Structure formats: C-alpha cells, structure tokens
C-alpha cells in the first residue's frame, strides 16, 4: 500500500488532537484512501510541555525547519498558530513544493493572499478546512459542493465563546461580565477574551469564507466588526418579548444589482460584516446553543442549507485537519496537486460595500422622558431620514419619569439611520445613548 509521510508543526490542542485521532482512525483512513498516511514527526517548542493528549517523545523535534526540509516528509501541517513564524513555516513548505494544511485563521486573514499566491506558484496545494468552524466541513462545501452556485447569503455563528455567553445570558438572565468569567473558568474563554468577544475571531473566519465564496480577496480592514461586549440583559429580554434572539453573526450578502448585466458592469458588491443581530426565535440559527457553531448558506441554485457542529476543540478540529491531510495525500497519490485549487480569484472587480451602504432592519431602544409628544419628535426625525417604523413598544411597569421606548423599523441603509440616531441623541427628552441592533430576517 502506498504511504505518504506527514510532518506536523504544533503539538498543542489541535496538534495533539490530530495525533490522537490519527492513532484512533489512521487504519480506517488508510482503508478508505487506499494509501497510508504515516505521522512521521511533530515539531514543538519544548519537549516537556503538558499536552491535551500525550505524544511520545520519540516523535517530537524542536526544529520545525529541519523537519519541513526532510526529503521524506511529503505533507506539512501548520498547527502552531500566530502570524509571523507560522507564515515562514507555510511559505517554506510551499517553496519546497509540499502541500500544506493549516488551521490558522489569523494567518490566512493577515497573509492569505500572499500564501495562496505562493501555493499557486509552487503548484502545491494549501488546505485550511480547520481554520473556519472547527469540525464543520464548510470550506469543502463552498470550495467543491457549491461550485455551481452563486452564494447570495451566508450567516454564520462562528465563535463558540460568544455563542456560549449569549446563550447563558438569555437562558439565565445573567449579565455579560458574570457569564464571561464563568466561560473563562470552564476553559471556553481566554484570559484576554477580546479576540472572541470583540468579534475579531469571527472577522478572520468570515473574511476567509467571503473571499472563497466571492472570488476576490476580502481584506480584514474592509469588514465592519462589532462584538458583544456592549449587549445588555435589557435588550436580550426585549428582543425575546418581540419574538427574537440575539446572536453574534458573521454576515455575507450579495449587494450587487441582480443579473449578469449588473455584475459585468461593475463587479460584484458584497456586504461582509460581523455584528450582534436580532434573528427570529423560530429560525433554526436561534436554536444553536452554547459553544456550537452553525453556518447558513443560500446558493442561487441549491437554495438554503445549514451546517452545524463543534466549532473548536481538539477533536472536532482534528477531524477537519485529517480531512485536509487525506485530500493532500490523494493529490500526491494521483499526481493532481491542484485538483481543487485553494483559492481562485474569479471576481477581479469585486468589492466590499461600506457598512454605511448596507441595508437592514433595526431594533432601537431609546431612553426618554415619559411625557406627551416624545414619540412624535422621534418619528419625525426617522421620517426625515426615510426610515419607517414597523412597531413601537413602551413597556409598562417602569417607575419614574424616564422610560424605555422600543422601536422596530423597516429596511433602511445604515448611514441615514446613524444620522437619525445622532439627532435623537441630541433631543432634550433623550436621557441615554440610543441602542441600535440590526435585525436579520433571512428573507
Ligand atoms: N484550539 C482550537 O480549538 C482551534 C480550533 C480551530 C483552529 N485552531 C487554530 O489552530 C492553531 C493551533 O491552535 P492550538 O489551540 O492547538 O494552539 P496551542 O495549544 O497553543 O499549540 C501550539 C503548538 O505549537 C507549538 N509551537 C509554537 N511555536 C512553535 C515553533 N516556533 N516551533 C515549533 N512549535 C511551535 C507549541 O509548542 P509547545 O507545545 O512546545 O508549546 C504547541 O505545541 C491556531 O492557529 C489556532 O487558531 C485552534
């Protein structure tokens, strides 16, 4: 039976998970592939570091460069993380013509264009299934399964930490800080949680998916990002009373004029954003709880599809890495190094629209004086901005002369809404900064 040798850089959460999964199911993989993948070596920083799954010392090296250069290493998996040395690791392997598997979304977000270019030049493939949504095979789905579709919409719950926090805030009426502390204690949140709760981890992943789905490189700085730090229990409860659930979503929406003529005229225009959104509690994404991830994809041919599973963790992520290793092994077996290229820029005039131009519905929570004529003043400002109100709720039971006023609007671009909120904030009857959360209805 033909054999290929795999060298892994990184023996931490993901690396040791891959070692464990390979030990458990390597023989099964071999029988499915008709070839063996031999895990030849694992490069780490230090031999004596504690690992989620123990790795025999005989497999370890602290010299990743020599491992990558070993002539008998056929495939390299970069599971070290970071964006500096990891870039060198991937480029070195590609330079040597070796296929690379990576789980590193931060690296792809920062240097993806360069790495895909290097892969193209060396005709060695670059696989990255584990970089988005852990064990969910969403890259393969977009890269291969939906190759005959235009992806018109993609909505992803792609950060397990945020979804865990929002789930518990809703279910237990707990505050953000308390749930974050608990998430940290349980190992779901880092000591510095900003990468997760401020939306940057979701940005890395949604940028990769947007680039892949729309065929031009989506630069992270063009993606509008809002995290969940500012969300209050009040908004979670008002949303629930209105029939909605708040989720942190990565959003990709085609914003081009429909049809071939429009696209040809000025390339495709897409919205790519990360923000907390009200979604109908009856929608399937509202039932995605705790650390689970889910990605809803709408293609113009396939219609609506949904992918659900664990978005991180040593085992789920190892599953995705092994899938990529299997593809790389088959490429080598059949001499088809770029059977499915890692990323094909096919939309050269594509662009991400600024958030100011993106259109959505809005949930607004205002804190205003409880006196006649307030609603009329607010409605006049929104009307001048051409934003029409869909419904208004003034919850009862608030003592004192300051009350919350909840408005749901119809669709409008972000720019006039921001302008209107600015004017509302300056009204004499306004008593606190207005809260705005976008509403996604999946229409
Ligand atoms: N954790 C997850 O659930 C998850 C999910 C999806 C994707 N990812 C991605 O997977 C990658 C790895 O994450 P992780 O959680 O496994 O990280 P980790 O637990 O911190 O492990 C990193 C590993 O890389 C090794 N390493 C770091 N620098 C090295 C160097 N210069 N030379 C050799 N080895 C080096 C470390 O060696 P020592 O062990 O000696 O310190 C360690 O084994 C990241 O890009 C991450 O974003 C992680």
> Do 286 and 371 fall within a single domain?
no
| Residues 299, 131, 272, 275, CA torsion sign | positive
Q: Is 52 in the pocket of ligand 1 (CB under 6 A)?
A: no
Per-residue CA distances from 428 to 404, 420, 423 (Å): 15, 15, 10
Q: Is 43 in the pocket of ligand 1 (CB under 6 A)?
A: yes
> Do 178 and 272 fall within a single domain?
yes
**Per-residue confidence (pLDDT) for residue 129, from 0 to 100:** 98
Q: Is the pLDDT of residue 293 over 90?
A: yes
**Per-residue confidence (pLDDT) for residue 289, from 0 to 100:** 98
Per-residue pLDDT of 171-182, as tens digits, reads: 999 999 999 999
By three-state DSSP, how is residue 60 classified?
strand
Domain count, the chain: 3
β-strands 60-61, 35-43: how paired?
parallel
Distance (Å, whole) CA 232 – CA 218: 31
Kindly report the protein residue whose alpha carbon is nearest to atom 31 of ligand 1: 45
Q: Is 15 in the pocket of ligand 1 (CB under 6 A)?
A: yes
> Do 274 and 260 fall within a single domain?
yes
Please provide the DSSP assignment of 149-200 as one string. Answer: S-EEEEEEE--HHHHHHHHHHHHH---HHHHHHHHHHTTSS-SSTHHHHTSH
Distance (Å, whole) CA 310 – CA 322: 16
Where in the sequence is the domain holding 257, given as residue range(s)? 139-310
Distance from the alpha carbon of residue 86 to the mean position of ligand 1, in angstroms: 10
**Per-residue confidence (pLDDT) for residue 438, from 0 to 100:** 98
> Do 262 and 291 fall within a single domain?
yes
**Per-residue confidence (pLDDT) for residue 36, from 0 to 100:** 98
> Do 157 and 131 fall within a single domain?
no
Residue 362 falls inside a structural domain: yes
Distance from the alpha carbon of residue 415 to the mean position of ligand 1, in angstroms: 41
Per-residue pLDDT of 106-129, as tens digits, reads: 999 999 999 999 999 999 999 999
> Do 144 and 92 fall within a single domain?
no
Q: What is the DSSP letter of 281?
A: T
- Average of pLDDT values for 323-342? 96
- What angle, rounded to 10 degrees, do the helices at 105-122 and 85-95 form? 20
**Per-residue confidence (pLDDT) for residue 258, from 0 to 100:** 47
Of 310, 343, 367, which one is at a domain's C-terminal end?
Answer: 310
> Do 152 and 297 fall within a single domain?
yes
Q: Which of 17, 81, 102 to mutate to test the pocket of ligand 1 (most atoms within 8 A of CB)?
A: 81
Residues with active-site annotation? 205
> Do 258 and 398 fall within a single domain?
no
Q: Is the pLDDT of residue 207 over 70?
A: yes
- pLDDT-derived band at 191, boundaries 50, 70, 90: confident
Closest by alpha carbon to 6, among 56, 57, 79, 62?
A: 79
Q: Is the pLDDT of residue 264 over 60?
A: no
**Helical H segments across 286-388, by residue range:** 314-334, 374-384
- Average of pLDDT values for 3-10? 98
Q: pLDDT > 70: what percent of the chain?
A: 97
Sequence-separated (6 or more) residues with CB below 8 Å from residue 419: 385
Distance from the alpha carbon of residue 11 to the mean position of ligand 1, in angstroms: 7
By three-state DSSP, how is residue 222 classified?
helix
CB 157 within 8 A of CB 243: no
Distance from the alpha carbon of residue 10 to the mean position of ligand 1, in angstroms: 5
> Do 152 and 91 fall within a single domain?
no
CATH classification of the domain holding 163: 3.30.360.10
**Per-residue confidence (pLDDT) for residue 400, from 0 to 100:** 74
Sequence-separated (6 or more) residues with CB below 8 Å from residue 359: 255, 411, 412, 413, 414
């Amino acid at each position: 039976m033909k054999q290929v040798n795999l060298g892994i850089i990184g023996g931490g959460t993901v690396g040791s998970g891959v070692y464990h999964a390979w030990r458990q199911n390597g023989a099964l993989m071999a029988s499915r592939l008709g070839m063996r993948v031999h895990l030849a070596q694992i490069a780490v920083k230090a031999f004596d570091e504690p690992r989620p799954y123990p790795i025999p010392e005989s497999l370890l090296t602290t010299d990743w460069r020599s491992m990558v250069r070993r002539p008998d290493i056929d495939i390299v998996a970069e599971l070290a993380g970071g964006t500096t040395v990891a870039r060198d690791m991937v480029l070195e392997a590609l330079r040597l013509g070796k296929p690379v598997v990576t789980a590193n979304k931060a690296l792809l977000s920062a240097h993806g264009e360069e790495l895909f270019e290097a892969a193209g030049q060396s005709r060695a493939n670059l696989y990255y299934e584990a970089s988005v949504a852990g064990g969910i095979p969403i890259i393969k789905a977009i890269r291969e399964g939906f190759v005959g579709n235009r992806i018109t919409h993609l909505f992803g719950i792609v950060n397990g930490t945020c979804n865990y926090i929002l789930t518990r805030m809703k279910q237990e009426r707990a505050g953000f800080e308390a749930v974050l502390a608990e998430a940290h204690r349980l190992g779901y949140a880092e000591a510095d949680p900003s990468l997760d709760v401020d939306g940057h981890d979701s940005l890395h992943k949604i940028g990769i998916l947007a680039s892949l789905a729309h065929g031009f490189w989506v630069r992270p700085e063009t993606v509008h990002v809002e995290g969940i730090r500012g969300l209050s229990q009040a908004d979670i409860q008002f949303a629930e009373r209105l029939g909605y659930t708040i989720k942190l979503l990565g959003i990709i929406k085609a914003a081009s004029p429909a049809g071939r003529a429009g696209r040809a005229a000025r390339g495709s225009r897409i919205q790519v954003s990360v923000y907390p959104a009200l979604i109908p509690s009856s929608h399937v994404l509202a039932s995605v709880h705790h650390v689970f991830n889910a990605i809803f994809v709408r293609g113009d041919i396939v219609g609506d599809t949904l992918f659900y599973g664990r978005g991180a963790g040593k085992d789920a992520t190892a599953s995705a890495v092994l899938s990529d290793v299997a593809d790389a092994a088959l490429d080598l077996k059949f001499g088809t190094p770029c059977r499915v290229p890692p990323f094909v820029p096919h939309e050269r005039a594509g662009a991400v629209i600024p958030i100011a131009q993106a259109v959505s519905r809005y949930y607004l929570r205002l804190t205003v004086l409880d006196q006649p004529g307030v609603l009329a003043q607010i409605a006049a400002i929104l009307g001048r901005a051409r934003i029409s109100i869909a419904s208004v709720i003034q919850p009862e039971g608030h003592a004192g002369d300051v009350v919350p006023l909840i408005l749901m609007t119809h669709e409008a671009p972000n720019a006039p809404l921001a302008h209107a909120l600015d004017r509302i904030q300056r009204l004499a009857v306004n008593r606190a900064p207005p809260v705005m959360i976008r509403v996604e209805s999946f229409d």
